[in-house]
C-alpha cells in the first residue's frame, strides 16, 4: 500500500515536471503571465486612482468583486466554526461581570503584553490606513489586530479576552465589515456608477474622481480589516477552548 502511494506521487510529480518543460524561465520579464493585464494595471493605477501600491489598487478596485466575496468567505468560515463548536456562550455570558479574575501568571509575560498590545494595535491601524502607499491593507492589518487580542488571551487568560471582546461584539464587528464593503458598493450604484465603481463617490465628496477611488479603497480596506480581525479572534477563541469560551490554553 505504501509502495502504491509512493508510485502515484512519483507519477504525478514526474508528469508535472514534464509539464514545466514548456514553462517560461524563472524571472523572465517576457513571461506570458506578465504580458497581458498586469502592465495595464501598473501603467494606469496612478492615473486612475492615485494609489502607488498597485497591489492595493487591484485588490480593492480593479478586482473589487473578488475581494468582496473573499471577505464573505472568511465571514462564512467564522460563522460555521461558531455553529460547529460554540456551546457555552449563553449560560456563560449571562453572568459576565467586570470582576476580572486575575489568575496568577508570570508577571514578565503580563508586563510584556501590556507594552506590546498598544504597539501591535497602532501598527495594525497603520498597516490598514497606509495600505495605499506601502505594503499593507485590510487583510494584513486585520490579522495583526486579531493577533493583538489573541496575545491578550494567551498572556492573561481567555476570560479576560472574552470580557474585552465579548461574543456579541465580535459577531457584530464581523458582520459590520462585510456590510461596510457592500454598502460602499451600493452607494456607488445609487450615485449612478457601477457597483463598486468608487469614482461615483466624487458626486458627494469634494474630491476628483481619482481621489474618490482612493478614498473608496480606504473604506473598503477598513471593512475587510474589521471582518478579518473579528473572525481571527473568534476562530482562536473557539478552537482553543472547544467552544466553551473559558480556560483556553
Binding site for another protein (CB under 8 A): 1-2, 5-6, 8-10, 12-13, 16-17, 20-21, 23, 25-29, 31, 33-34, 37-39, 41-43, 45-46, 52-55, 58-59, 63, 66-67, 70, 73-74, 77-78, 80-81, 84-85, 133-135, 137, 139-140, 143, 228, 231-232, 235, 238-239, 242-243
Closer to another protein by Cβ: residue 41 or 187: 41
Q: Please, are residues 128 and 136 in contact by the beta-carbon 8 Å criterion? A: yes
Nearer to another protein, 87 or 100 (CB): 87
CA distance 228 to 140: 9
Nearest to another protein of 80, 194 (CB atom) = 80
Q: Given phi > 0 = left and psi -120 to 50 = alpha, else beta, which region is 10? A: alpha
CB of 110 vs another protein, minimal distance in Å: 27
Give the nearest distance from C-beta 24 to another protein in angstroms: 8
Q: Which is nearer to another protein, 9 or 164 (CB)?
A: 9
Q: Report the residue number, 42 or 205, with the smaller CB distance to another protein.
A: 42
Question: Which three three-digit cell numbers place residue 71?
Answer: 471577505
DSSP of 128-197: HHTTTTSS--HHHHHHHHHHHHHHHHHHS-HHHHHHHT-HHHHHHHHHHHHHHHHHHHHHHHHTTS-TT-
Helix (H) or strand (E) holding 85, with range, is helix 64-85
Least separation in angstroms between residue 59's CB and another protein is: 5
Neighbours of 21 (CB within 10 A): 6
C-beta of 80 vs 101, nearer to another protein:
80
Neighbours of 62 (CB within 10 A): 19
Closest among 217, 230, 188 to 62, alpha carbons compared: 217
Please provide the size of the chain in residues: 249
Closer CB to another protein, 184 or 229, in the complex: 229
Least separation in angstroms between residue 197's CB and another protein is: 18
C-alpha cell at 219: 473604506
Question: Least CB distance from residue 98 to another protein, whole Å?
Answer: 29
DSSP state of 37: S
Count the alpha carbons within 13 Å of 237 in the hemisphere toward its beta carbon.
34
Amino acid at each position: 500500500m505504501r509502495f502504491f502511494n509512493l508510485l502515484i506521487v512519483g507519477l504525478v510529480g514526474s508528469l508535472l515536471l514534464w509539464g514545466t518543460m514548456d514553462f517560461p524561465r524563472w524571472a523572465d520579464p517576457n513571461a506570458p503571465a506578465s504580458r497581458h493585464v498586469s502592465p495595464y494595471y501598473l501603467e494606469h493605477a496612478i492615473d486612475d486612482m492615485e494609489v502607488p501600491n498597485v497591489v492595493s489598487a487591484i485588490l480593492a478596485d480593479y478586482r473589487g468583486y473578488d475581494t468582496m466575496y473573499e471577505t464573505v468567505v472568511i465571514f462564512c468560515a467564522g460563522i460555521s466554526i461558531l455553529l460547529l463548536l460554540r456551546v457555552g456562550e449563553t449560560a456563560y455570558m449571562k453572568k459576565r461581570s467586570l470582576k476580572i479574575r486575575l489568575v496568577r501568571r508570570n508577571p514578565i509575560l503580563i508586563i510584556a503584553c501590556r507594552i506590546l498590545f498598544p504597539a501591535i494595535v497602532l501598527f495594525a491601524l497603520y498597516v490598514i490606513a497606509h495600505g495605499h502607499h506601502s505594503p499593507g491593507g485590510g487583510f494584513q492589518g486585520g490579522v495583526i489586530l486579531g493577533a493583538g487580542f489573541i496575545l491578550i488571551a494567551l498572556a492573561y487568560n481567555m476570560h479576560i479576552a472574552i470580557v474585552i471582546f465579548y461574543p456579541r461584539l465580535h459577531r457584530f464587528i464581523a458582520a459590520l465589515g462585510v456590510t461596510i464593503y457592500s454598502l460602499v458598493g451600493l452607494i456607488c450604484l445609487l450615485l449612478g456608477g457601477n457597483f463598486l465603481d468608487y469614482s461615483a463617490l466624487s458626486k458627494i465628496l469634494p474630491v476628483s474622481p481619482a481621489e474618490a477611488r482612493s478614498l473608496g479603497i480606504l473604506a473598503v480596506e477598513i471593512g475587510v480589516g474589521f471582518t478579518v480581525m473579528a473572525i481571527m479572534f473568534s476562530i482562536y477563541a473557539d478552537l482553543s477552548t472547544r467552544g466553551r469560551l473559558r480556560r483556553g490554553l
